Structure 1
Amino acid sequence: MFATLLRENKIVAGLLAVIRIWLGYNWMTAGWGKLTGGFDASGFLQNAIANPVMGPDGAPVYSWYVNFLESFALPNIELFNFIVPLGEFLVGLGLLLGCLTTAAMFFGLVMNFSFFLAGTVSHNPTDIFLGAIILFAGYNAGRYGLDRWVIPFLRKTFNKKLDKTVSETA
């Protein structure tokens, strides 16, 4: 019942739009600040590697993530210095416009969890909670946005291509 309300109710869609726009503004401004302000993630990554999240037994909780940061992210810092700000900006833009909302929120959650795994709490728990609601609501979260037109267009386009592919292989 709650899932149906969240995924189909138009009043809830309005509330989701407010949450979506607020999250989008925060993501977009964070990304824009990094895009225009000379962002460098190397210090953050070095700190996350040097000070991993520790469990009660004194061992790193996410040693696999620390290993990823050390062996892949840090050696490819130029790539991360490019994709983090751009990703934040695009997630924010998608949420603000309500365009490909669930995809934008999915990638926003991936980044939130990445920051969280690196030991940064900040506003990540709130963003993850609200982002999970947006993601679970699906199309309804973008109903009052560009998804109202984009999603039907994409469905129609992909269904035509799928029908053509199926008919060609039959």
Structure 2
Amino acid sequence: MRMIMKFLRENIYAAVLMLLLRLYVGWEWLYAGYHKLANGFDAKGYLTGAVAKPVADQTGEVIYPTFTAFLKHFALPNVKLFNFMIPLGEALIGIGLILGALTAAAAFFGLLMNFMFLFAGTISTNPWLVLLGGLIMIAGANGGRLGIDYYAKPYLRKLFHKEASGGTRTNIKTG
């Protein structure tokens, strides 16, 4: 297992594999988001159906009662917010993965959305995208090595290091 992790996180051939996975998964996300943005999107029917027929076991007991409560008491009353966030989120995840920009974050939010769809009972391509998105996320920085992350990572590291140290660097001489 350690060898596989090292390969995914450090190997240039794994970076090429991650590029191919990113392009495929990114296209799937971008297409889904663009389709919703271009043609209009209303999540009300989907959310209402997910609340009316939640995922249940053979006895009829709801498997994800907390998620169903979230849909009923937060998502449905704020459906206009979700009508905006879902298509925009899908498109941004796709753009991030395709360009290799904030790749691990894009993969994480893609996984989060896929799991939300699965909790609501939608199977579709979600398990497949969870698997591929998980591989991209596990690859970490190597997932975006052949993308914008390669150029942005040093800048972001410097920016966050500067911010973490209070914005200024001082040398203290002892002696």
TM-score by length of structure 2 reads 0.93
Q: Counterpart in 1 of 2:69? A: 67
Unaligned 5+ runs, structure 2 = none
Letter matched to residue 26 of structure 2: G
Name the CA distance, whole Å, in 2 between partners of 1:38 and 1:66.
Answer: 25
Letter matched to residue 147 of structure 1: D
Q: Is the 8 A contact 2:162 2:169 kept in 1?
A: no
Q: Counterpart in 1 of 2:47? A: 45
Percent of paired sites with the same residue: 48
Q: Counterpart in 1 of 2:80? A: 78
Q: Counterpart in 1 of 2:119? A: 117
Say whether 1:10 aligns with 2:12: yes
Name the CA distance, whole Å, in 1 between partners of 2:30 and 2:24.
Answer: 10
Q: Which residue, 114, 127, 130 being the options, matches 1:128? A: 130
What's the CA shift for 1:36? 1.1
Q: How does 1:97-108 map to 2 (within 5 A)?
A: 97-108=99-110
Give the root-mean-square deviation of aligned CA atoms: 1.5
Give 1 or 2: higher helix fraction: 1
Count residues with an aligned counterpart: 169
Q: Which residue, 150, 154, 165 being the options, matches 2:152? A: 150
What's the CA shift for 1:57? 2.4
What's the CA shift for 1:51? 0.9
Q: Is the 8 A contact 2:162 2:168 kept in 1?
A: no
Q: Is the 8 A contact 2:50 2:121 kept in 1?
A: yes
What's the CA shift for 1:167? 6.1
What's the CA shift for 1:163? 2.4
